[in-house]
Structure 1
């Protein structure tokens, strides 16, 4: 008795569960012309918590031979009594005129399969009366779009502007080409230090044998000029324009008194020879020459740079020429960029108009 009761309960629960799931299939139109489309809707009514698997088709996949699925779209909405209707809408088409049988579609609900009813689709062809050929016309020729100046005016005037700018750019280029660049070079030359220059001149005095010459005035003039140039470059004051006493006074604060006494005696002798026609002896000339050499050796500066950077000085005309070339290059660059932008815009506009 207990077994019979359990069996009845199981059958009853199964029937109730089956009654809670419904699968329906419907088609918008059972009759279409070749190439037309229709929609097949597969709807399953289940509890919201149920797991439903609806049939899926890829685009251009055949539902049945001759009937093609173009698209699938899933829908969901609430139903009565707390149930939920889940649907899949299939877009169908066919290109053969015949009657198609659409087999039942299988839906899985919580792992259990349910089938819909089968459907039919009739595909019709279009009747053509071939006895009246004059009613049929061939394809039309491609129609040209009407010409509108308002559409073409902007690229036209921009093209004119671009040509003017190109001509101006070419003119400026010719000006730049004819205006030769001014090339300046910074030279690095070796320079002699003040004491080296002075010693070279003293060696020249020796080579010219001016010490033993009867022309004492020329000898002392050359010797004192050499010392004046050395003092001017070594100490940085205008010794060539100063008197002997002024030079000695400037040197008194920084030089050895013994060296200054010898230098003072040399300048005094030179002044007497040049202005008072004083005659000197050969040994006196030798002594003054040695005094000059000693003074140079005692006051010379070693470890000075022996190379000098010589920067050329441009004239006002050259400076104006350089400025003019820079302006021409700037104008050419700006105009070239503008022309490139205009060209790109005109090409893009023409492409839009012609396509």
Structure 2
């Protein structure tokens, strides 16, 4: 009995020693790595997609190599996309959880066995659990074959204005801006002067112009009373200007005596007596500080009006005078050349943009 107990004790001791030796010889990290795989949907229709999730939990700062998967996971199951790995740090960065997603699909109906996904941690292999995927085809109603229709023929869609309006407007704008750009380029190269047309309104006849100014002098009573020198200066200037325009000699640069002598060639001495008296009174006021009476001022004003009425030339009242146009040529300045160059650039760029929009509309519409 004692011998049997001794042998039994040796057997137990040997077993415990073997277990201890096995545990001591196995890697410690084997208990610290977990690999899990899951799939979003176990059943799919042909052409549908689902995602496979791979999750690796391990100690921090260990070397991990995820599985290298090409276009297919297994025959019949295609891999469409592999997401970038995402790392989650736990326990004060002592543990890492790395996850990765695989988007898969299938175009053949079957039950697929998805093998375990294999990762490498510090050159040691770890595997996840295997998965399964059932792919169904689209059910066909064979009892009602008359409900199946063949492919439709190509239908020509009519082109409407809304489809081409942008294109038409773009080409119209391109033509307008292109023409303007060419015009500016030609003008810049020719360096032609800028031609301006100035319209000159027809002047009033000499007697009407003179009577207009006399009415203004007559209306200003204060000048007659307070400043007779200014009054006679304005009055004689009006008469001198009228004589210059009416008789054709420069009465503005002549003395009163010279004016009367020139007028005696076309008028008699008696008819010029009142005008001569006006000039003499004006000279006395301007140079001898003569102070004429108010009635004398009015009389000289009347003498001026009478002289104008006696010597005026009446024009045809039905004749309508058109404004005179004068063309003035001006050399282009530096600012003008800069403005011309800017105009060329703006119109050219605008035409190019309009052409691009038009061509793009053509491509989108017909190609």
After TM superposition, the score normalised by the length of structure 2 is: 0.45
Relative to the length of structure 1, the TM-score reads 0.47
